[in-house]
């Protein structure tokens, strides 16, 4: 089995579908025609660029370039975690918190898989390292963002209860334990659900891509299982870590609730 390459002409035909949808939206005055066209153009340009970068990257064997690309992905994901918070910690702490949690969970799991499970030689072989990191960052980012958003929002809404528990002499850890548990759970639920329905309701995108590209379905499935496990472990670790750090930072050294450390996002 080999891949049937797509020509420019093939993609242009597919683009007609998008143009047809944009025209239909325009006729129905949905107000999204412009967004459809711009988003489609962004897809083309961004993916072409990353394709070029990957093509060049796969040709090199220097670990420095792989690390640089990984770093850019990390910072972009960290920024995304930050901007998704309705109420975030003031200053650089918000960015540092998310990025550090992403870093810890993603790097640990990915390095483990690259060296022990896949045993790529060398371990930083970009063909394996970059796609795995991409999947990891993308999913871990979602878990951390959800968990942190839930934590800060709930703490804000339930500040009277937290204060009352502190007043009764509970430690900060006890006073926020319920909220912390709920927030960590809500960060992990989507990925657990995704594992539960994989193959039944949804065919994961990576697997679909591999099969289209001519890979043996069982090989594609094996990699998909690996990815699912990695992503779930990374998301779980990252969410637990981020929510724990953020919970701690909601209180000061005198065990007072410090919601003044949060600021509302400017929408």
Partner 1 sequence: MLLDDVTSKNYSGSQWRQRVGYLPAISQWWGDGVREHFIHTIDPSLLAAWLNTLALDEAILDAPISTLSSGERQRVALLRLLANQPQVLLLDEPTASLDHDNTLRVEKLVAAYQAQHRCVAIWVSHDPAQLQRVAARHFAIEQGGLRPLAEAQA
Interface residues toward partner 1, by CB under 8 A: 158, 160-161, 163-172, 174, 178, 254-256
Calpha distance 29→52 (Å, rounded): 37
Distances (CA, A) of 222 to 206, 216, 225, 229: 11, 10, 5, 11
**Shorter beta-carbon distance to partner 1: residue 14 or 168:** 168
Q: Report in angstroms how near the CB of residue 183 gets to partner 1 at its nearest.
A: 15
Question: What sign results for the dihedral spanned by CA atoms 206, 211, 213, 218?
Answer: positive
**Shorter beta-carbon distance to partner 1: residue 62 or 256:** 256
Q: Which two tokens stand for residue 5?
A: 């390459």
**Shorter beta-carbon distance to partner 1: residue 121 or 253:** 253
Q: Which of 97, 261, 250 is nearest to 165 (CA)?
A: 250
Q: Report in angstroms how near the CB of residue 89 gets to partner 1 at its nearest.
A: 20
Q: Report in angstroms how near the CB of residue 223 gets to partner 1 at its nearest.
A: 45
Q: Report in angstroms how near the CB of residue 38 gets to partner 1 at its nearest.
A: 47
Radius of gyration of the chain (CA): 22
Q: Report in angstroms how near the CB of residue 250 gets to partner 1 at its nearest.
A: 13
**Shorter beta-carbon distance to partner 1: residue 167 or 200:** 167
Q: What is the phi/psi pair of residue 256, to 5°? A: -105, 145
220's CB contacts (< 8 A; 6+ apart) are 207, 210, 211
**Shorter beta-carbon distance to partner 1: residue 114 or 151:** 151
């Amino acid at each position: 089995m080999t891949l049937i390459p797509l020509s420019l002409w093939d993609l242009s035909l597919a683009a007609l579908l998008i143009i047809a949808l944009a025209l239909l939206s325009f006729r129905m005055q949905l107000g999204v025609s412009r967004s459809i066209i711009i988003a489609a153009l962004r897809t083309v340009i961004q993916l072409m660029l990353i394709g070029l970068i990957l093509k060049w990257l796969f040709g090199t064997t220097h670990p420095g370039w792989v690390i640089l690309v990984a770093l850019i992905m990390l910072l972009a994901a960290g920024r995304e975690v930050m901007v998704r918070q309705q109420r975030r910690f003031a200053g650089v702490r918000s960015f540092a918190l998310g990025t550090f949690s992403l870093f810890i969970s993603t790097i640990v799991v990915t390095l483990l898989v690259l060296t022990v499970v896949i045993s790529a030689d060398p371990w930083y072989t970009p063909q394996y390292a970059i796609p795995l990191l991409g999947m990891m960052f993308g999913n871990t980012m979602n878990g951390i963002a959800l968990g942190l958003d839930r934590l800060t929002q709930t703490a804000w809404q339930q500040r009277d209860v937290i204060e009352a528990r502190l007043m009764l002499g509970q430690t900060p850890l006890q006073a926020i334990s319920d909220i912390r548990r709920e927030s960590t759970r809500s960060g992990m639920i989507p990925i657990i659900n995704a594992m539960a329905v994989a193959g039944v309701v949804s065919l994961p995108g990576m697997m679909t891509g591999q099969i289209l590209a001519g890979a043996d379905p069982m090989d594609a499935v094996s990699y998909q299982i690996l990815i699912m496990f990695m992503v779930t472990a990374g998301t779980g670790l990252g969410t637990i870590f981020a929510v724990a750090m953020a919970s701690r930072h909601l209180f000061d050294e005198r065990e007072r609730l410090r919601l003044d450390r949060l600021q509302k996002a400017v929408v």
